[in-house]
């Protein structure tokens, strides 16, 4: 424990926030972080923190990202696929009902099983289901929602279920705090915010593309384009596969030898 | 819903939203103030030709210090900083980390994967592990999850593990408590001025003790298990001033339903909710816990009530650790302030399927119900059952629908069988409940508040209409997707049980 702690450098840490008032500037952030009780605090060279080439030696340990190995550079990242559209206040009980919380996300077999139940709690008014009967994965790689997506419980099973089902990103007007943070911490899905209320204008099954670098969502079925809010410093954390993977990749904590 | 989010227009006459007092650019406000102070110091030096002296940090001088809210102060102390402003990201030292059987195994899995199979937790005395969610079930995976907790606690020599081994009789398990948020308070783990994190969204309940408490996910909890720290963003504070004498037919549940109805289920997202005023001061600790418990239903990061004599008295004999209460400065900045005259409030419910779907209980008197549920971290405390018993006692009648009682903890259960209900001539809650025809109080746990495994006691396995003292009425929350949940106070729940309709408790309490 102590050994691993001493090599954590906190001056380049990640921030999570969906708030409009967030502080994402790395320099501002660095000045506010001091961890006096961690000693000795050996600061690793940080020049490589945001360099695209820094991570080639790191192996992915999480299930979420199916990304190419050129990490830490989100500017060219795109997601393309079918979208699944839901409304406002989609709470975590609808994303993954409590009866499935006996599944432990850190257990690989149970991780897969969680995915097969993603969004199963949506009312029957959702005639088209996120995951079809007898399937374990979704054919919709992008979920589009309204305001306050992921409200309710702190269950990390929620972003995990979406990621395990095969979703890459959620695009919503706004998020509940814990869901947003859990999405970033696990790297399971990109919780992207739209500037407009696009859940009214997109239909389940529309073909969409998200261009992260351009902060843009294109609905090919309707021909419309929408501006997204920048994911900011949370982007590289999700791309790496969560906070631990990101911290290893950037040298904040040592790579695992085992 | 959308319209209420976009324009939270006050629907009731007794609220005055003093948004003008807030600071729209809160993150920069205090920085500007600090800059000003520095300038003043240097000017002074020039004018008197004093020798050069080292610059005084603003926070070292009481007179120029920028005011902080109690949430900001707690986080400042925990991050060892003299001054914090909303929006600051800081590494916070955690005083207590709580986890339970639903999120504990996953958090432990992450801890082991990331820190190593043989690593030790950061502090075996600061981790509290409370099995409470899926206990009295034959679900093998649920049972296994409690075993995972036990193995981990043994391996790590965790000091506070409230274990249960004999599922057939909870009373045979002296260590077993029940619902984590209530057990944390009863066992003395909630202390003013501290930081308490838990892998459960209702961890915010502990804010009732004047501490910072919020829910986190498994990955963050895995990080805390290894380091005792977490990166947190300092939230801006919404201040709720509740004044006026609490009418005898209201409970804290009505107050928080009023607030959530006012600001919506996303009205406090990322924000702290501070509760003050003469009404709040008059509430006992369990009622304050109800108030803070549901801040997450408004999206809040934490809820907080200043510690006072009521707090200190509750803590007597519960904790031997020293604690240091903190209080908001008079000049602290709030994002906005809401004022309520509680003496004019009426009993409320939240209609399906959202906690902000507020209505007066009397407006719903034609809603026929199938059952009543009294339990959970929100409404399953001793005071909640005493309140329900008071209504049954006052009516002298029998319930018309099945009425399920799930005490939050073993202590609450014991109270139901031992504490005399005031004005009853020495009867206990359990006697009054039996006379009213309620179900026998069940084994303490989270029960059917969140549905859970199919064999969970009182789970809504059919599309029923339920009046419940719990915290959420989302679709499927108590089991069945088409089930309808009316959230209400224990008074309103008991009154509704007596009539079979959603009922204003004033029909029985006069």
B251 in any annotated domain:
yes
For residue B482, the chain A residues in CB contact (below 8 A) are 123-124
What is the per-residue pLDDT for A75? 61
Mark whether B364 and B500 lie in a shared domain. yes
For residue A244, the chain B residues in CB contact (below 8 A) are 110, 114, 219, 222-223
A79-100 confidence digits (pLDDT tens): 999 999 999 999 999 999 999 9
Distance CA A176, CA A95 (A): 13
What is the per-residue pLDDT for A73? 54
User: How many domains does chain A contain in total?
Assistant: 2
In a mutagenesis test of the B interface, which of A2, A62, A106, A150 is the best target, namely the one with the most B β-carbons within 10 Å? A106
What ipTM was estimated for this complex?
0.86
| Residues of the domain holding B272 | 236-307+335-345
B373 in any annotated domain:
yes
Which of A37, A146, A185 is opposite residue B220, by nearest beta carbon? A185
A56 in any annotated domain:
yes
What is the per-residue pLDDT for A255? 83
Mark whether B171 and B291 lie in a shared domain. no
Mark whether B128 and B222 lie in a shared domain. yes
Mark whether B372 and B341 lie in a shared domain. no
Q: Which of B296, B318, B345 is the last residue of a domain?
A: B345
What is the per-residue pLDDT for A31? 36
For residue A97, the chain B residues in CB contact (below 8 A) are 451, 476
A22-65 confidence digits (pLDDT tens): 333 333 333 333 333 333 333 333 333 333 333 333 333 333 33
B211 in Cβ contact with B191 (< 8 Å): yes
Task: Kindly determine whether residue A123 and residue B482, on different chains, have CB atoms separated by under 8 Å.
Answer: yes
Starting at the edge strand that comes first in sequence, how are the strands of the sheet with B302-304 ordered?
B15-17, B336-341, B237-243, B272-276, B302-304
Q: What is the CATH number of the domain that holds B248?
A: 3.40.1060.10
| Residues of the domain holding A26 | 1-67+241-258
Mark whether A100 and A208 lie in a shared domain. yes
Nearest-Cα residue of chain B relative to residue A183: B217
User: How many domains does chain B contain in total?
Assistant: 3
B468 in any annotated domain:
yes
What is the per-residue pLDDT for B452? 94
pLDDT-based confidence at residue A254 (cuts at 50, 70, 90): confident
Which of A105, A152, A156 is opposite residue B474, by nearest beta carbon? A152
SS3 B322: coil
A34 in any annotated domain:
yes
Mark whether A39 and A87 lie in a shared domain. no
Mark whether B116 and B223 lie in a shared domain. yes
What are the Cα distances from residue B217, in Å, to A239, B104, B108, B198, B298?
A: 19, 10, 12, 8, 18
pTM of the model: 0.85
Nearest-Cα residue of chain B relative to residue A148: B266
A73 in any annotated domain:
no
Taking the alpha carbons at both ends of chain B, their separation in whole angstroms is 35
**Beta strand residue intervals within B94-147, DSSP E:** 96-99, 127-129
Q: What is the CATH number of the domain that holds A147?
A: 3.20.19.10
What is the per-residue pLDDT for A257? 56
Mark whether A58 and A93 lie in a shared domain. no
Mark whether B247 and B227 lie in a shared domain. no
Q: What is the CATH number of the domain that holds B458?
A: 3.30.499.10
10-residue mean pLDDT profile of chain B (510 residues): values are: 40 43 37 38 40 49 74 97 95 98 98 96 98 97 98 98 97 98 98 98 98 98 97 97 98 98 97 98 98 98 98 97 97 97 98 98 98 98 98 98 98 98 97 98 98 96 98 97 97 98 96
In a mutagenesis test of the A interface, which of B459, B476, B487 is the best target, namely the one with the most A β-carbons within 10 Å? B476
A35 in any annotated domain:
yes
Distance CA B206, CA B303 (A): 8
Of B308, B90, B91, B288, give the one whose Cα is nearest residue B207. B288
Q: Which of B197, B232, B267 is the last residue of a domain?
A: B232
B362 in Cβ contact with B504 (< 8 Å): yes
- Looking at CA atoms only, how far is residue B447 from chain A in angstroms? 11
Mark whether B244 and B359 lie in a shared domain. no
B272 in Cβ contact with B303 (< 8 Å): yes
Task: Kindly determine whether residue B109 and residue A101, on different chains, have CB atoms separated by under 8 Å.
Answer: no
B57 in any annotated domain:
no
Nearest-Cα residue of chain A relative to residue B354: A89
B23 in any annotated domain:
no
In a mutagenesis test of the A interface, which of B28, B264, B269 is the best target, namely the one with the most A β-carbons within 10 Å? B269
Q: Is A223 exposed, middle or buried (0-12, 13-18, 19+ CB in 10 A)?
A: exposed
Mark whether B274 and B387 lie in a shared domain. no
Mark whether A11 and A38 lie in a shared domain. yes
Mark whether B224 and B263 lie in a shared domain. no
A72 in any annotated domain:
no
Distance CA B202, CA B184 (A): 12
Mark whether A196 and A221 lie in a shared domain. yes
SS3 B376: helix
Mark whether A132 and A27 lie in a shared domain. no
């Amino acid at each position: 424990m102590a050994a691993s702690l001493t090599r954590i450098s906190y001056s380049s840490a990640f921030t999570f926030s969906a708030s409009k008032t967030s502080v994402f500037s790395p320099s501002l952030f660095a000045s506010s972080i001091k961890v006096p009780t961690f000693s000795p605090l050996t600061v690793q060279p940080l020049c490589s923190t945001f360099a695209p080439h820094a991570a080639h030696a790191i192996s992915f340990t999480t299930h979420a990202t199916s990304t190419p190995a050129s990490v830490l550079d989100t500017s060219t990242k795109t997601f393309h696929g079918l979208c699944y559209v839901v409304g406002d206040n989609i709470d975590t009980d609808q994303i993954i009902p409590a009866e499935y919380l006996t599944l432990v996300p850190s257990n690989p077999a149970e991780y897969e099983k969680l995915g097969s139940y993603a969004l199963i709690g949506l009312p029957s008014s959702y005639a088209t289901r996120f995951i079809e009967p007898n399937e374990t994965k979704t054919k919709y790689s992008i979920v589009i929602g309204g305001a306050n997506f992921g409200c309710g419980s702190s269950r990390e099973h929620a972003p995990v279920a979406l990621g395990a089902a095969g979703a890459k990103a959620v695009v919503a007007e706004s998020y509940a705090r814990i869901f947003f943070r859990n999405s970033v911490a696990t790297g399971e899905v990109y919780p992207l915010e739209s500037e407009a209320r696009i859940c009214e204008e997109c239909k389940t099954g529309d073909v969409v593309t998200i261009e992260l670098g351009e902060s843009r969502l294109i609905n090919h079925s309707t021909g419309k384009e929408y501006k997204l809010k920048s994911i900011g410093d949370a982007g590289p954390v999700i791309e790496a596969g969560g906070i631990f993977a990101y911290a290893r990749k950037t040298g904040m904590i040592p790579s695992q030898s085992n | 819903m959308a319209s209420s989010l976009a324009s939270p227009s006050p629907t009731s006459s007794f609220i005055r939203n003093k948004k003008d007092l807030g600071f729209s650019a809160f993150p920069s406000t205090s920085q500007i103030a600090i800059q000003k102070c520095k300038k003043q110091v240097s000017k002074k030096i020039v004018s008197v030709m004093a020798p050069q002296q080292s610059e005084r940090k603003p926070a070292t001088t009481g007179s120029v210090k920028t005011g902080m809210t109690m949430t900001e102060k707690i986080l400042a102390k925990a991050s060892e900083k003299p001054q914090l402003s909303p929006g600051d990201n800081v590494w916070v030292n955690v005083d207590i980390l709580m986890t339970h059987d639903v999120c504990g195994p996953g958090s432990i899995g992450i801890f082991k994967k990331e820190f190593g199979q043989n690593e030790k937790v950061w502090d075996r005395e600061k981790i509290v592990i409370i099995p409470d969610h899926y206990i009295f079930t034959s679900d093998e995976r649920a049972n296994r999850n409690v075993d995972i907790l036990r193995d981990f606690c043994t391996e790590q020599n965790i000091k506070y593990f409230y274990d249960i081994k004999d599922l057939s009789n909870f009373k045979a398990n002296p260590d077993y408590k029940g619902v984590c948020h209530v057990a944390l308070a009863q066992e003395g783990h909630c202390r003013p001025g501290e930081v308490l994190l838990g892998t459960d969204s209702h961890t915010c309940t502990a804010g009732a003790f004047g501490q910072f408490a919020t829910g986190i996910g498994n990955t963050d909890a895995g990080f805390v298990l290894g380091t005792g720290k977490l990166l947190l963003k300092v939230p801006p504070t919404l201040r709720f001033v509740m004044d006026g004498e609490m009418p005898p037919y209201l409970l804290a549940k009505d107050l928080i339903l009023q607030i959530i109805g006012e600001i919506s289920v996303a009205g406090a997202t990322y924000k702290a909710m501070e509760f003050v005023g003469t009404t709040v001061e008059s509430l006992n600790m369990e009622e304050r816990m109800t108030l803070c418990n549901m801040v997450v239903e408004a999206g809040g990061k934490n809820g907080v009530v200043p510690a006072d004599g009521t707090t200190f008295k509750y803590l007597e004999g519960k904790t031997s650790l020293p604690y240091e209460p903190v209080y908001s400065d008079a000049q602290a900045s709030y994002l906005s302030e809401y004022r309520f005259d509680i003496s004019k409030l009426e009993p409320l419910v939240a209609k399906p399927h959202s906690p902000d779907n507020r209505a007066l209980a009397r407006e719903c008197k034609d809603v026929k119900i199938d059952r009543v549920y009294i339990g959970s971290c929100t409404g399953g405390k001793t005071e909640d059952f005493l309140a329900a018993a008071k209504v049954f006692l006052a009516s002298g009648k029998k319930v018309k629908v099945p009425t399920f009682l799930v005490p939050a903890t073993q202590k609450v259960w014991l109270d139901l069988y031992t504490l005399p209900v005031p004005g009853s001539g020495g009867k206990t809650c359990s006697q009054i409940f039996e006379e009213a025809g309620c179900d026998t109080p069940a084994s303490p746990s989270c029960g059917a508040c969140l549905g859970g495994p199919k064999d969970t006691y009182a789970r809504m396995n059919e599309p029923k209409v339920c009046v419940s003292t719990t915290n959420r009425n989302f679709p499927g929350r108590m089991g069945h997707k088409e089930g309808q949940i009316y959230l209400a106070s224990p008074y309103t729940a008991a009154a509704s049980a007596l009539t079979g309709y959603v009922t204003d408790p004033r029909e029985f309490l006069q």
